[in-house]
Structures are given as C-alpha cells and as structure tokens.
C-alpha cells in the first residue's frame, strides 16, 4: 500500500522497531486483546482519499449550503453575522497556539497562558466582574455551569429563568438541572420584557434568577430591577449578556449581578453552523473558588520574574474528582483567543461604535418595516440589534418565500413561543447597510403583502 502522508514509519523502520521490542509482527502487539472482542474484518468505510480529492469533496458539500455570503441574512437568535477581522484568522492559525494542548506545563505555554490572562481581563472589563474563567463550551452550557455554582452557594433547590431568555439556553438548563437536584421555574414576559414583581415572587427560595439582556426578542429588560428582585430574595442574579452590547449597555457588575455570562460567538467567531464558539462566565470575587473550568493566575518564577500558570486547580476534576466544581477540562481556548484578538482590534471606541451601529441600523429596519405595514411585536420597547415583527402570515412560509428572492428575513420564532407563528425575529448587525435593509423591506412586502 502507498505510504500514508500522515504516517512516517517505513517498512524498514517497522522491522527494526519490532526487533527492538522483541516481537515478530505488529499483530503480536495486540495479544492482550481477547480473541472474542477482536474485530475480524475491514472497517466498512469509503476508501482513503488524497488531499486533492478530499478538498473537492468538501468543497462540493460546502457549496450545497446557503451561507450569509450567498444570501442577504437577518438571522440571529443567538448566533450573529458580525464582521470577523483578518487579524483573528492570522493569530488563530499560528501553529504554536493551534496545535498546543491545555497548558499543563507553564514553561512551555507562557504564550497561551498570558493570552488567557488577557482574555479574563477583557471579560471582566466588559461585564464589570472580578473573575472570569478561561471559557466554557458555549452560551448555553455556561448558564448550566452557573446554576451549579448557585446551587452550592445557596443550598437551594430551584432556579428561576425568564421565559424571554433564549430557548436554546433554557433547554440546556432544563437538561442539566435534574442532575444538580434543581427544579426550573420559568417567569413569563409581559409585553416583551419581564416584570420585576413577577421575578420577586418566583425568586423566593430560589438559588438563582437567570435573565437575558437584551432578551430573546431583542428588548432591553429592566435589568437593574430584575437583579434587585433576585438579591432581595437571596437568589443569585445571573445576567446572560451579548458581549457586543456592552459598549452601550451597562455592565452587569454595575447593577448587582453575581454572575455575568453569555455566548461569545458575536465577538470574534464565525457562525460556523453553531460552533465551535466560546461561552464566557465571570463572577464576583465571592464565587472565585466555585468557578468551573480553567483559570489563569499571575505569579513569579524562580528568578522572581513575572509569569502565568493555571491556578486554583483544587476546584478542578483532575484534583478533586467527584467533589470538583465542574467536570470541564477541554474548553474553548482557541475561540476565546479569537475573542480577545477581536476585542483588542475593536478597542473601547470600536466596541461602542459597533453597538451604536446595531442600535441605529435595527431602528432603521424597524422603521422601514413599519412603513410597509409590518408592526413590531413590542413597539414600545427599546431594542438593541434584534426585534420581533408580525408578518401577517405563517413566518416559516415567509422565510421560504423570501429566500427564493435571495433574502433570509430572520428567524421564525413560533417554534419556540406559542401564538407567535406569524412573528419573525430580525437581527441587524453592523455588517448590514441601509440599502440591504431597504431590500429586506421590499422583499417582505412582496412575499407577505404588508
């Protein structure tokens, strides 16, 4: 058989190595595997490809997807089409970052350790919190992680989640909660936002109150009042936030939240059909020893020079085993590094400008749609970059019809909320232009006859 490009041993190598080992064949190396569990045929897989054939095959598969470069897309609902600058790719393709493992040996890994320390700083700055971990899997799983923190911090047996929190997040919390011994209670929204009095009632005896800012409908919640309602009941207020909103919206640390977390994708990752991305999780100092996952700390080396290490490891699974604060080991470091590079690229000015662009462009979209008879679902609420709009007929059909005209007009949210079958969730990032928004309005008029 031809030598495989990813394998280096030649026939001569193999012979010499077998001699050194003292066995006569490769087969003999597997003698400890009982005959009854040996696999006695060839794997039923398609034959090996060359790199050229592989490339052609995957290019063909990719071409059967309609991505945001092939149609004008207003999809959001948790994953957003923000611009990812070239510097992100350049840094992430450095082999020293790309092909390293978790930095167990700090002397070999100062690059990524310092980068994570800088990432933790950026997340704390965005959220107004004291401590950030090195990342979690995504915005859904970090929310489940936060429930575990709250459960152990309060010893209480339920968590409250607002219904206006992204359904993906709520579903994952509900999947994890039984294992934590937690019941999940949902608080409905009132006209697109959550009433703090409803939260106050539900928060009694709760470990935590989770809300999203801006919420799933894009509306700005009365976040400080929701946090206060949770705090009054002794429940931990947990804010699920959009990192790109935090140049214009207040940091959760400034309005009394215990934990701030969210989906990092918008800041520096491509949509990539849902992953891999990073979830960020930051908390007040009180919870530093209950944090899940890796944390990098600053210290000194034997010569007194500054350096970075994984720290507070007695929280973690490889030391504490069944008493660990989480089972996480592999996290999303490379994507979080992408986040750090992106936030560095933006700087504080750029972050504010992206936020302002989202506000302005989405307000323009609302206006254009309203002029064509499509009323926003919650007209009196302030929204950030996404808004819900009634389209007068089944929104899924509207999506299909609009896509035939080259525009993906948004997410048909009726799948997640009863009574909203005629509602589209429209996301407008800084990448959209007023002309593109005009086209959305035109196409919606054509297909939904507004």
- Is residue 434 close enough to count as binding other proteins by CB under 8 A? yes
Q: How many alpha carbons lie under 13 Å from residue 369 in its C-beta half-sphere? A: 30
| Pairwise CA distance, residues 430 & 440, whole Å | 15
- Is residue 344 close enough to count as binding other proteins by CB under 8 A? yes
Q: Which stretch binds other proteins (CB under 8 A): 87-95, 156-164, 187-195, 438-446?
A: 87-95
CB nearer to other proteins: pick between 144 and 206: 144
Phi and psi at residue 295, in whole multiples of 5°? -135, 135
Residue (of 171, 160, 429, 123) closest to 279 by Cα position: 123
Q: Is 317 strand, coil or helix?
A: helix
CB nearer to other proteins: pick between 111 and 373: 111
- Is residue 414 close enough to count as binding other proteins by CB under 8 A? no
Q: Token digits for 124?
A: 């704390």
Q: Give the residue carrying structure tokens 């310092």.
A: 114
- Is residue 309 close enough to count as binding other proteins by CB under 8 A? yes
CB nearer to other proteins: pick between 317 and 445: 317
In whole angstroms, how close is the CB of 372 to other proteins at the nearest point? Answer: 16
Could you tell me the CA-to-CA distances from 54 to 50, 58, 415 in Å, in that order? 6, 6, 37
- Is residue 296 close enough to count as binding other proteins by CB under 8 A? yes
Residues 219-278 touching other proteins, rule: CB under 8 A, are 220, 222-224, 246-251, 254-255, 263, 270-277
- Is residue 11 close enough to count as binding other proteins by CB under 8 A? no
Q: Which stretch binds other proteins (CB under 8 A): 185-193, 198-206, 234-242, 307-315?
A: 307-315
| Pairwise CA distance, residues 226 & 208, whole Å | 11
Residues 183-212 touching other proteins, rule: CB under 8 A, are none
| Pairwise CA distance, residues 244 & 214, whole Å | 11
Q: According to CB under 8 A, which one of 202, 209, 261, 351 is a site residue for other proteins?
A: 351
The DSSP bridge partners found for residue 427 are 386
Number of chain positions touching other proteins (CB under 8 A): 210
In whole angstroms, how close is the CB of 212 to other proteins at the nearest point? Answer: 13
Q: Token digits for 59?
A: 């290019």
| Pairwise CA distance, residues 273 & 351, whole Å | 25
In whole angstroms, how close is the CB of 386 to other proteins at the nearest point? Answer: 12
- Is residue 180 close enough to count as binding other proteins by CB under 8 A? yes
Q: Which stretch binds other proteins (CB under 8 A): 125-133, 154-162, 190-198, 202-210?
A: 125-133
Residues 63-82 touching other proteins, rule: CB under 8 A, are 63-71, 73, 75, 77-79, 81
- Is residue 6 close enough to count as binding other proteins by CB under 8 A? yes
Is the CB of residue 248 less than 8 Å from the CB of residue 233?
no
The DSSP bridge partners found for residue 193 are 190
Q: Give the residue carrying structure tokens 């490009």.
A: 5
In whole angstroms, how close is the CB of 420 to other proteins at the nearest point? Answer: 15
Residues 386-405 touching other proteins, rule: CB under 8 A, are 399-400, 403
In whole angstroms, how close is the CB of 112 to other proteins at the nearest point? Answer: 4
- Is residue 332 close enough to count as binding other proteins by CB under 8 A? yes
Length of the chain, in residues: 450
Quickly count: other Cβ atoms within 10 Å of residue 313's Cβ: 15
Residues 33-62 touching other proteins, rule: CB under 8 A, are 33-34, 36-39, 42-49, 51, 54-55, 57-62
Q: According to CB under 8 A, which one of 382, 406, 446, 449 is a site residue for other proteins?
A: 382
CB nearer to other proteins: pick between 215 and 234: 215
In whole angstroms, how close is the CB of 424 to other proteins at the nearest point? Answer: 12
Q: Which stretch binds other proteins (CB under 8 A): 86-94, 187-195, 199-207, 229-237?
A: 86-94
| Pairwise CA distance, residues 253 & 265, whole Å | 21
**Residue 191: enclosing H or E segment and its boundaries?**
none
In whole angstroms, how close is the CB of 72 to other proteins at the nearest point? Answer: 12
Is the CB of residue 92 less than 8 Å from the CB of residue 338?
yes
Is the CB of residue 87 less than 8 Å from the CB of residue 341?
yes
Asked if residue 214 has a cis previous peptide bond (ω within 30° of 0), the answer is yes
Residue (of 415, 86, 77) closest to 265 by Cα position: 77
Is the CB of residue 224 less than 8 Å from the CB of residue 235?
no
Q: Token digits for 303?
A: 């010569």
Q: According to CB under 8 A, which one of 23, 201, 204, 449 is a site residue for other proteins?
A: 23
Q: Which stretch binds other proteins (CB under 8 A): 195-203, 351-359, 371-379, 439-447?
A: 351-359
Q: Token digits for 319?
A: 């030391």
Considering only CA atoms, give the Rg of the chain.
Answer: 25
Q: According to CB under 8 A, which one of 32, 380, 418, 419 is a site residue for other proteins?
A: 32
- Is residue 418 close enough to count as binding other proteins by CB under 8 A? no
């Amino acid at each position: 058989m031809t030598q495989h490009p990813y394998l280096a041993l030649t026939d001569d190598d193999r012979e010499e190595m077998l001699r050194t080992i003292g066995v006569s064949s490769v087969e003999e190396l597997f003698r400890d595997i009982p005959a009854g569990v040996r696999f006695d045929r060839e794997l039923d897989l398609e034959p090996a490809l060359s790199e050229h054939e592989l490339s052609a095959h995957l290019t063909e598969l990719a071409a059967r997807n309609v991505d945001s470069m092939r149609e004008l897309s207003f999809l959001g609902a948790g994953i957003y089409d923000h611009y990812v600058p070239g510097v992100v790719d350049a840094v992430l393709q450095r082999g020293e970052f790309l092909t390293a493992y978790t930095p167990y040996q700090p002397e070999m890994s100062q690059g990524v350790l310092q980068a994570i320390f800088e990432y933790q700083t950026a997340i704390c700055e965005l959220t107004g919190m004291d401590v950030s971990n090195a990342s979690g899997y995504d915005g859904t799983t970090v929310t489940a992680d936060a429930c575990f923190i709250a459960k152990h911090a309060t010893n209480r047996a339920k968590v409250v989640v607002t219904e206006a929190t992204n359904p993906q997040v709520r579903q994952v919390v509900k999947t994890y909660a039984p294992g934590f011994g937690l019941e999940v209670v949902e608080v409905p929204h009132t006209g697109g936002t959550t009433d703090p009095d409803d939260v106050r009632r539900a928060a009694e005896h709760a470990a935590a109150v989770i809300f999203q800012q801006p919420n799933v409908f894009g509306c700005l919640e009365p976040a400080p009042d929701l946090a206060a309602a949770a705090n009054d009941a002794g429940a931990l207020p947990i804010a699920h936030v959009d990192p790109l909103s935090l140049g214009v919206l207040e940091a959760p640390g400034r309005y009394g939240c215990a934990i701030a977390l969210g989906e990092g994708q918008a800041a520096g990752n491509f949509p990539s059909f849902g992953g891999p991305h990073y979830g960020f999780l930051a908390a007040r100092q009180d919870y530093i020893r209950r944090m899940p996952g890796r944390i990098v700390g600053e210290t000194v080396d034997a010569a007194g020079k500054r350096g970075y290490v994984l720290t507070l490891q007695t929280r973690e699974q490889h030391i504490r085993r069944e008493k660990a604060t989480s089972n996480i080991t592999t996290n999303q470091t490379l994507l979080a590094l992408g986040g750090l590079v992106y936030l560095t690229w933006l700087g504080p000015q750029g972050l504010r400008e992206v936020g302002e662009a989202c506000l302005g462009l989405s307000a323009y979209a609302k206006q254009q749609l309203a002029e064509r008879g499509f009323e926003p679902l919650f007209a009196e609420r302030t929204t950030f970059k996404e808004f819900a709009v009634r389209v007068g007929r089944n929104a899924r059909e509207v999506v299909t019809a609009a896509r035939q005209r080259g525009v993906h007009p948004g997410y048909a949210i009726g799948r997640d909320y009863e009574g909203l079958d005629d509602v589209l969730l429209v996301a407008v990032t800084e990448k959209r232009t007023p002309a593109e928004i005009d086209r959305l309005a035109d196409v919606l008029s054509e297909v939904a006859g507004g």
